[in-house]
Amino acid sequence: MAGIAGAACSSDVLFGSREVGSDGASLAQFRGLRPVENMQLAPTGSEPSGSISTSASKSRTIRAMVSQTVSAPKREKDPKKRVVITGMGLVSVFGSGIDTFYDKLLEGESGISLIDRFDASSFSVRFAGQIRDFSSKGYIDGKNDRRLGDCWRRGEADIMVAGGTEASVIPTGVGGFIACRALSQRNEDPKKASRPWDKDRDGFVMGEGSGVLIMESLEHAMKRGANIIAEYLGGAVTCDAHHMTDPRSDGLGVSTCIAKSLEDAGVSPEEVNYANAHATSTLAGDLAEVNAIKKIFKNTSEIKMNGTKSMIGHGLGAAGALEAIATIKAINTGWLHPTINQDNIEY
């Protein structure tokens, strides 16, 4: 199974399951491309892999749409050029435990609440997905990021820490996006403010957090006996310079990025059956992303997609890392979390 995760400014990465077999969860859907609506958790003690629910009251068990050709042949031949994920960590609105984070997503729980970190009474937007019960005391100070490209594949490094972090729920952070008119104004009902693809969406919800992946060459991971969680198949970055904040409505920048990511991974569009969408809940962004996905994946009958931000808000610099972890958990468990607050789906 292959899954694609999208992030801001047209950045996409593809992950594959650590082992490709004939069993698992099928990401089949109904009525064409549509976001996952509801997820029904497996009863306590049961095995979740192999079951996906398409509604709160109906559960379906279907064989996975997987193929032995998913992994790129060039990397199968050389363990030095294959990159795998051997560790994950995060700080989120649901705490710092990965299993708890994903369980909350599966339950469709919203982590959005009124801001209590500072006095937001004078702000037109007074809610966000804020981190609680976390202190940075005792942690090493962050260093400047630098682009590392394909250094794993070139053999320049065996193991690296890759991720993103953001602490944006502060007066200047919230105030800046209010000035841009980018945020939802649903102060009366914060938990329903982030609503990707819904006709009544009115902007994104500020979020924050951190996500980190431990990435290393397959050769290095095998030598040290590491637990391989997933394989990084490929990725791409584009910037179409269309507008300071709005993407082209046809999603050209996004579709170009997805195409380049698939090419880099050696994966065909037909082999992808799940997309964790950027899905910020903005009018322009959601439309562009849906158009891009429909352009690349001609047959959307085997694809399901969801929007993590509906529950945790837009983590900005942390969004891609947090949603990469959600994507990996979806692939590993066979369970997809819902996109909440979809009362009137537009697409």
Q: Which two tokens stand for residue 98?
A: 């990965």
Sequence-ordered alpha helix ranges (H) in 180-305: 218-223, 252-265, 283-296
Number of helices (H), then strands (E), belonging to the chain: the values are 8, 12
User: 5: which strand partners?
Assistant: 13, 276
Q: Would you call 95 helix, strand, or coil by DSSP?
A: strand
Number of CB atoms found within 10 A of residue 328's CB: 25
Strands 272-276 and 127-128: unpaired
- Alpha-carbon distance of 306 to 340, in angstroms, equals 9
pLDDT tens, N- to C-terminus, the chain (347 residues) = 566 666 555 667 777 665 433 222 222 322 233 344 443 333 333 332 322 222 222 223 223 333 334 444 444 456 667 899 999 999 999 999 999 999 999 999 999 999 999 999 999 999 999 998 877 665 554 443 334 446 656 667 788 999 999 999 999 999 999 999 999 999 999 999 999 999 999 999 999 999 999 999 999 999 999 999 999 998 999 887 888 888 899 999 999 999 999 999 889 998 898 999 999 999 999 999 999 999 999 888 778 889 999 999 999 999 999 999 999 999 999 899 999 999 998 87
User: What's residue 104's pLDDT?
Assistant: 97
pTM of the model as a whole = 0.80
Which sequence spans correspond to the domains of the chain? 2-41+50-333
Structure tokens at 316: 């900005």
Q: At which residue do the structure tokens 């380049």 appear?
A: 260
Identify the pLDDT of residue 300. 80
Q: Report the pLDDT value the prediction gives residue 41, as an integer from 0 to 100.
A: 30
Please give the pLDDT value at position 66: 36
Give the span between the Cα atoms of 11 and 5, in whole angstroms.
8
The angle subtended at Cα 80 by Cα 75 and Cα 86, nearest 5°, is 90
Sign of the C-alpha dihedral computed for residues 313, 317, 320 and 323 taken in this order? negative
pLDDT of residue 62: 24
- The reported pLDDT for the residue numbered 309 is 98
Both tokens of 127, joined, read: 């809610």
pLDDT (0 to 100) of residue 240:
78
What is the per-residue pLDDT for 63? 30
Q: Which residue in this structure is represented by tokens 């049961």?
A: 46
CATH number of 2-41+50-333: 3.40.47.10
What pLDDT score was predicted for residue 134? 78
